[in-house]
């Protein structure tokens, strides 16, 4: 076994208080593109960058275009959890992993069986009317055309955090609490370029930070163990 995998295995064996912090790279092996990889959404040709389209201002001013992009590029209803999601769910089941803090909106951690998941940026599976607050599931978006409308006439908005919007305070506080209480923090599949989410890592006070990412990140220098590899491949070797 690779030396680094062995080291990760030892770190995991030595702790029953692990928190995982992840991003879009956790779901690329489920064929959901991330933002910043070569095949990611930042490198596709679109009239506007994802950062512009997925902003609150754009949502308000160009709703038709927002929903066209959102349906086309952000929703993958048939995606299945991959080896990374399954390994993390297993680590929780055996009592080692206490929480998953994710920037993803795809619901794949829950689909894999993870219970304590903090979805910092919301979920494509939750949608609500901006006027009356009525809740809608994903079908309200996938089975409608143009701007999805509520029975009251209001616009249905996905419960996902757009650029320029703040994170849910309670959720943020609970995610911070979990990170502060953890002994081991495993960070994976994230460029750590999106704030305030990436700033949550500064709350970690435990003993070991592990970083598993295909590319280098700004926090590589601060981690005790850095593995530049596919997260599904790495985590599936830990839990066999
Ligand atoms: P990002 O900025 O696109 O970074 C992804 C990182 O993951 C990159 O550094 C890649 O090198 C790395 N990576 C890609 N595939 C793998 C892999 N298989 N194994 C290991 N590393 C890999 O994405 P972040 O999550 O850091 O950025 C935050 C944004 C992206 C959040 O606001 C998300 O909501 C948003 N996003 C989410 C999804 C999703 O829900 N699946 C998809 C696309 C974007």
Q: Measuring CA to CA, which residue among 85, 91, 69 is closest to residue 30?
A: 85
Integer CA distances (angstroms), 204 to 4, 76, 177, in order = 22, 32, 9
Cβ of residue 119 lying under 6 Å from some atom of ligand 1: no
- Spell out the per-residue pLDDT of the chain, length 240, in tens: 699 999 999 999 999 999 999 999 999 999 999 987 656 666 666 778 888 999 999 999 999 999 999 998 899 989 999 999 999 999 999 999 999 999 999 999 999 999 999 999 999 999 999 999 999 999 999 999 999 999 999 999 999 999 999 999 999 999 999 999 999 999 999 999 988 888 999 999 999 999 999 999 999 999 999 999 999 999 999 987
| Cα separation, 137 vs 75, whole angstroms | 13
* Residue whose CA is at the smallest distance from ligand 1 atom 13: 25
In ligand 1, which atom is closest to the CA atom of 40?
3
| Cα separation, 229 vs 4, whole angstroms | 11
pLDDT score recorded for residue 67: 96
Q: Specify the 3-state DSSP secondary structure of 18.
A: strand
In ligand 1, which atom is closest to the CA atom of 212?
20
């Amino acid at each position: 076994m690779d030396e680094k995998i062995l080291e990760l295995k030892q770190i995991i064996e030595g702790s029953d208080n692990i928190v995982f912090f992840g991003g879009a790279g956790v779901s690329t092996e489920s064929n959901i593109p991330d933002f910043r990889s070569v095949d990611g959404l930042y490198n596709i040709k679109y009239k506007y960058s994802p950062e512009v389209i997925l902003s609150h201002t754009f949502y308000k001013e160009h709703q038709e275009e927002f929903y066209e992009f959102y349906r086309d590029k952000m929703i993958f209803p048939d995606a299945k959890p991959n080896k990374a999601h399954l390994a993390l769910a297993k680590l929780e089941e055996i009592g080692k992993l206490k929480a998953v803090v994710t920037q993803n909106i795809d619901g794949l951690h829950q689909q894999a069986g993870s219970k304590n998941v903090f979805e910092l940026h919301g979920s494509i599976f939750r949608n609500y009317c901006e006027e009356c607050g009525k809740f809608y599931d994903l079908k309200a978006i996938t089975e409608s055309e143009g701007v999805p409308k509520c029975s009251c006439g209001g616009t249905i908005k996905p419960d996902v955090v757009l650029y320029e919007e703040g994170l849910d305070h309670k959720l943020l506080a609970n995610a911070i609490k979990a990170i502060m209480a953890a002994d081991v923090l495993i960070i994976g599949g994230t460029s750590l370029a999106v704030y305030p989410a990436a700033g949550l890592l500064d709350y970690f006070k435990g003993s070991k930070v592990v970083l598993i990412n295909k590319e280098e990140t700004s926090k590589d220098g601060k981690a005790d163990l850095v593995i530049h590899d596919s997260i599904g491949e790495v985590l599936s070797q830990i839990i066999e």
